[in-house]
Chains A and B, each alone.
Chain A
Amino acid sequence: MTQTTHADALESAPGPGRPRRGQRRPESQLRRLARALEPVPWVAPATVLILFVVIWPVIAMFQTSGQSFDSMGFNHGSAGWSNFTKLFDEQVLDGVLIRTVIWVVVVVGVTMLVSLGVAQLFNKQFPGRRVARWALIAPWAASVVMTAIVFKWMLDPNNGAITVLAHDLGIVKQYNATNWLSEQVPAFCWEMFVAVFVSVPFTTYALLAGLQAVPAEVYEAAKLDGASVWRTYWSVTLPLLRPALLVAMLINVMNVFNSFPIIYEMNGGNANSSDATSTIFMYTTSQSSIGEAAAMSVVNFGFIIVIVLLFLRASKWNSAED
């Protein structure tokens, strides 16, 4: 920009008229171009990376959903919209989508509630707080696959730790008689429990960071005004926690929506996908029909876009109110 202004200034100075001006113009345009291209070497690697890692797979996914692949990866030509019609004709699809919504809402909801409480607790001074905080990280630090498998073993109908406990407490009458992980409702409940279990640590830490950022003065002011504990929480803590809450919630929603290992490891989504979410369903479908699985991916991708848009909207509302 400076260069152009400078050039214009030179030209407006007394001296040669139009012809010279016409001669100079190509050179200044070249320079302008060079100026404009200057950032390219710096930005190009990142741009290429994004194109290659983010954009290209998305395009490939859309392409795949319109092709007819056999399980050896051979492309037998265009499939038109047939992969999508096949997907929407699946009798289990409605159940899968409903379950995905339940999964996200319940897991994220319970996680947020539990984490709010735990974060509040951990924000207090108490002996052994440091150890307790470290202990809370453990479920998060452990691999989700490992956690899921451990719970699966604990629920083994013959000798799992939870089964044995339930048997000793008289809840389970006989070994080998019930297998919670193979029945739709109990299995799904246990899977949601494990999902909450592995989501709480991160969420708690996000909220704890938010809590620690609340200045002590506002609490003193609330105290001076004689506000009750609950009143302080509702009117001071929660509003100030809102940015942390929103970020924690968005990350959780996406994480839980995409969650694969818990259900997959615990029972593979059960027979006929009876407790599969859309991610699990996409995986099982990919074993018998790659194109249809790609169609499911496109639908999943759509969901993610919608969730992100909703979040952007929510955070806008957030900043507007502030």
Chain B
Amino acid sequence: MLALSALGVAGAMALTACSSSGSSKSSSAGGVTTINLLAADYGTAGTANSSQTYWQGIADAFHAANPSIVVHVQTIPWTDYQTKTTAMFQAKQYPDILEGDAPQEFAADNLLYPLTDVMSASTISNLIPVFVKQEDTNNIAYGAPFTTSSRVLFYNKKLFTQAKIASPPTTWAQLESDAAAIKALPGGNIGYDMPLGTEEAQGESLMWMLGNDGNYTDGTGKYAINSANNIETFQFMANLVKAGDTEAGPATQDRKTAWADFASGDVGMVGGSGALVPIINTAGKLQSADWGDVAMPGKNGPLTTPLAVHDDITAFNLGGHAAQIKAFLDFAYQDKYQEQFDNEYDLLPATSSASAALSASNPVDAPFLAALPNGSQYPTNSNWTPVTKKIQNTIGAAVASPGAASTVLGELQAFASSSNN
């Protein structure tokens, strides 16, 4: 009956200690080089919609054009991604190419090729500029954006009509009164759904911070989580919660629940990306005329620099196949594959040319694409990964009461500026 809790942490360490000096199992035999690709699965594993199918298609076409290189594809569902990859990395099992995680921490551990070693200059220059500097560690890019998305406010036109609201909100004050009006309708609807639970609290928080000229960092890149503006933002959010204009208990609400609730028609407004569209369509409760999307309201007007996020490609240097990785990445970043991915998963491309092509062909994506070049991103500080985790686990408490914001944001600031582990 030893403290199992203790065994948990120690066990993870034991794994690290046990595994032999691992590099990926990439190999060169008989003139054929195998490189390993590990990617997040944006679809459903085991179906045609699985990202395994998407990547295998590219790998096969690439192998046909480059018979001396085989790309071995492995995908992990997003829901298990963090747990499974962390276990793999802690056991020192690295792929040659990783799609999903941010590069900062890997770069700090000297595991990555600089981007210029594994991607040709023409491909790099085609990446949407606003995301590129995100990949830097000490001014060297170690990763490339692979897929992007931007956030807007989704609103339920049915509920807006019922509550006699003429147009979607553009300011916080309007959002507040609209949410109150929807909440007052019979039937127990939710005015604004504010997911501050562990799944995506960092995204929802930043969407709100941006509306009051705030962010996690200041202009110089130093953490400024408890800035006066951010505290004011969370006080406003806390007042919304207190007035009952949001769902009950935002601190434990996950984004997937918020989106599912919006799709089921009980929610007036929610922040979302293009990935919410297929959820709405699958639920079948709202027709396309029943909902709309507009820029997220800010304190005094709609956000002109909305939250834009991206998932990354990084290349590990342990297998030593820079040339083969470069050939494959240049191949995989072709417009047709970028567009195929985005049409399949309702996400946005990471290259300028694919973005232009998609704007023309996909009217649903056009507003999201237009917002991308001015997007605001998460910090690039090397300890952002642990700071994100801390934000996900704690920031919901900042809306427990209007007085809680400065304490909770202050603790986060202290953690962020002191931690390097």
CA distance A206 to B109 in the complex (A): 53
Chain B residues 371 to 421 lying within 8 A of chain A, measured CB to CB, are 385-387, 389-390, 393-397, 400, 407-408, 411, 415, 418-421
Given contacts A287-B389, A301-B3, 19 further A-B contacts (CB under 8 A): A60-B14, A63-B13, A70-B109, A72-B106, A176-B248, A177-B244, A179-B252, A183-B249, A254-B1, A258-B3, A260-B5, A271-B196, A278-B5, A286-B8, A288-B390, A290-B9, A294-B9, A297-B8, A297-B10
Q: Residue of B at shortest CB range from A287?
A: B389
Q: Which of B3, B197, B387, B393 has the most CB of A within 10 A?
A: B3
**Interface residue? B11 (CB, 8 A):** yes
A267-B252 contact given A176-B190, A291-B421, CB 8 Å threshold:
yes
Q: Is the CB of A57 within 8 A of B16?
A: no
**Interface residue? A143 (CB, 8 A):** no
Residues of A within 8 A of B109 (CB): 70, 72, 74
**Interface residue? A205 (CB, 8 A):** no
Total interface residues in chain B, CB < 8 Å? 58
Residues of A within 8 A of B420 (CB): 68, 70, 76
B-side binding surface: helix, strand, loop or mixed?
Answer: helix
**Interface residue? B69 (CB, 8 A):** no
Residues of B within 8 A of A289 (CB): 386, 419, 421
Q: Residue of A at shortest CB range from B251?
A: A271
A-side binding surface: helix, strand, loop or mixed?
Answer: helix
Using an 8 Å CB-CB cutoff, how does the interface string of B122-160 with A read, 1 for contact, 0 for none?
Answer: 000000000000000000000000000000000000000
A176-B400 contact given A72-B89, A72-B106, A300-B5, CB 8 Å threshold:
no
**Interface residue? B65 (CB, 8 A):** no
Q: Is the CB of A288 within 8 A of B10?
A: no
CA distance A179 to B241 in the complex (A): 12
| CB of B163 to closest CB in A, whole Å | 16
Q: Residue of A at shortest CB range from B250?
A: A182
Q: Is the CB of B252 within 8 A of A270?
A: yes
Q: Is the CB of B188 within 8 A of A175?
A: yes
**Interface residue? A181 (CB, 8 A):** yes
Using an 8 Å CB-CB cutoff, how does the interface string of A74-86 with B read, 1 for contact, 0 for none?
Answer: 1010010000001
Q: Is the CB of B248 within 8 A of A157?
A: yes
CA distance A137 to B131 in the complex (A): 57
**Interface residue? B34 (CB, 8 A):** no
Q: Residue of A at shortest CB range from B188?
A: A175
**Interface residue? A279 (CB, 8 A):** yes
Q: Residue of B at shortest CB range from A294?
A: B9
> Which listed residue (A68, A158, A287, A297) contacts B6, Cβ 8 A?
A297
**Interface residue? A268 (CB, 8 A):** yes
Using an 8 Å CB-CB cutoff, how does the interface string of B53-95 with A read, 1 for contact, 0 for none?
Answer: 0000000000000000000000000000000001001100000
> Which listed residue (B4, B106, B252) contacts A268, Cβ 8 A?
B252
**Interface residue? B235 (CB, 8 A):** no
Residues of B within 8 A of A254 (CB): 1
**Interface residue? B204 (CB, 8 A):** no
Contacts from A to B (Cβ < 8 Å): 54, 56-58, 60-61, 63-64, 68-74, 76, 79, 86, 91, 157-158, 174-179, 181-183, 251, 254, 258, 260, 267-274, 278-279, 282-284, 286-291, 293-294, 296-298, 300-301, 303-304
| CB of B411 to closest CB in A, whole Å | 6
A72-B248 contact given A57-B10, A288-B415, A294-B9, CB 8 Å threshold:
no
Q: Is the CB of B8 within 8 A of A283?
A: yes
**Interface residue? B108 (CB, 8 A):** yes
**Interface residue? B339 (CB, 8 A):** no
Q: Is the CB of B90 within 8 A of A70?
A: no
Residues of B within 8 A of A268 (CB): 197-198, 252, 393
| CB of B401 to closest CB in A, whole Å | 11
> Which listed residue (B3, B17, B394) contacts A271, Cβ 8 A?
B394
A57-B106 contact given A179-B247, A271-B252, A273-B393, CB 8 Å threshold:
no
CA distance A197 to B248 in the complex (A): 26
Q: Is the CB of A176 within 8 A of B189?
A: yes
CA distance A178 to B390 in the complex (A): 26
Chain B residues 251 to 275 lying within 8 A of chain A, measured CB to CB, are 251-253, 261, 266
| CB of B260 to closest CB in A, whole Å | 11
CA distance A290 to B12 in the complex (A): 10
Q: Is the CB of B4 within 8 A of A258?
A: yes
**Interface residue? B2 (CB, 8 A):** yes
**Interface residue? B364 (CB, 8 A):** no
| CB of B309 to closest CB in A, whole Å | 19
Using an 8 Å CB-CB cutoff, how does the interface string of B149-178 with A read, 1 for contact, 0 for none?
Answer: 000000000000000000000000000000
CA distance A34 to B393 in the complex (A): 59
**Interface residue? B346 (CB, 8 A):** no
